Homo-oligomer: A and B are copies of this chain.
Amino acid sequence: MAPVFYLFYMLCLNLSLLCVLFVVTWNLYWRGGFAWDGSLLHFNWHPVLMVSGLVILYGNAAVVYRIPFTWKQRKLVCKLVHAGMMFVALLLSVLGLSAVFDFHRGFNIPHLYSVHSWVGLSTVLLFSSQWILGLVGFLLPYSTPWIRSSLKPVHIWIGKVILVFGLVSCISGINEKLLLTLNGMIAVPYSTLPVEAVFVNFLGILIVAFGMSVFGILFVKKWQRPEDGPESTHLLLSEGTP
């Protein structure tokens, strides 16, 4: 089974790299690069951080338990890697939100008016709640086996919901940015498909393809990490932790 898994996983990793490369190139080459000073360049961190954090790092953190070579590690190590990657993903997402709020303030643009922003903010709020719930339910020593076994399916389901929300937010955001930016340039409106538009539309396709590769990996039952030992050994600071 492992070779087929690694084929899927390599696809997932390659799509990850391509998505990050594309979103950085877009903002570096066509949108003038980056700054953190309330200027137009301040906005450019928003797509880069949301795509890299909320979708790419999030998706990679979601499949970390499925990588067969990690099965030799204790489950607590995997949990910590999963929680750590998710924490960085959440941090990047919050920074990405902060970039767009700062940019709006600098240009007196109202916050949170589009359906993209409503779904996007819901995604980050859901993600924050999920991370805290995950920490309390699966890592802190006060959690009981009953809590963990009841929470696990909910955690997995909400985890997938967040990825779907993340994909919806990214594609609607990319569409919004191209409409607002390119349609402001009379010479090359979005509908004439300048090179930037084709490049960024293709980034959109790469992002949904990445999402589907993650869902593909999560979908196959036999790629799940085999259960090893009693759950009590998999909590932080619990008696069973060596």
Residues in chain A within 8 A of chain B (CB atoms): 109-110, 113-116, 118-119, 122, 153, 157, 160-161, 164-165, 167-168, 171-172, 174-176, 178-180, 190-193, 197, 200-201, 204-205, 208, 211-212, 215-216, 219-220
Contacts and interface: CB of A to CB of B under 8 A. Distances in A.
Contacts of A172: 116, 168, 171-172, 175
A238 to B, nearest CB: 29
B201 A118 contact: yes
Contact of A119 (B161, B191, B192, B205): B205
A208 B113 contact: no
A212 B219 CA distance: 17
Nearest to A174: B115
Contacts of A190: 113-114
A115 B171 contact: yes
Nearest to A190: B113
Chain copies in the assembly?
2
- For the residues of A in contact with B, the DSSP-based class is helix
Contact of A110 (B114, B191, B201): B191
B113 A175 contact: no
A7 to B, nearest CB: 16
A152 to B, nearest CB: 12
Contacts of A161: 212, 215
Contacts of A212: 161, 164
A110 B178 contact: no
Given A119-B171, A157-B216, 14 more contacts: A110-B191, A110-B192, A110-B193, A114-B178, A114-B179, A114-B201, A115-B205, A118-B205, A157-B215, A161-B215, A164-B167, A164-B208, A164-B211, A168-B172
Contacts of A178: 114-115
Contact of A113 (B113, B118, B153, B193): B193
A40 B153 CA distance: 47
A211 B163 CA distance: 13
Contacts of A179: 114, 176, 179-180
Nearest to A218: B157
Given A110-B191, A179-B179, A215-B157, A115 B204 contact: yes
Closest 6 CB pairs of A and B: A115-B204, A172-B172, A115-B201, A172-B175, A110-B191, A113-B191
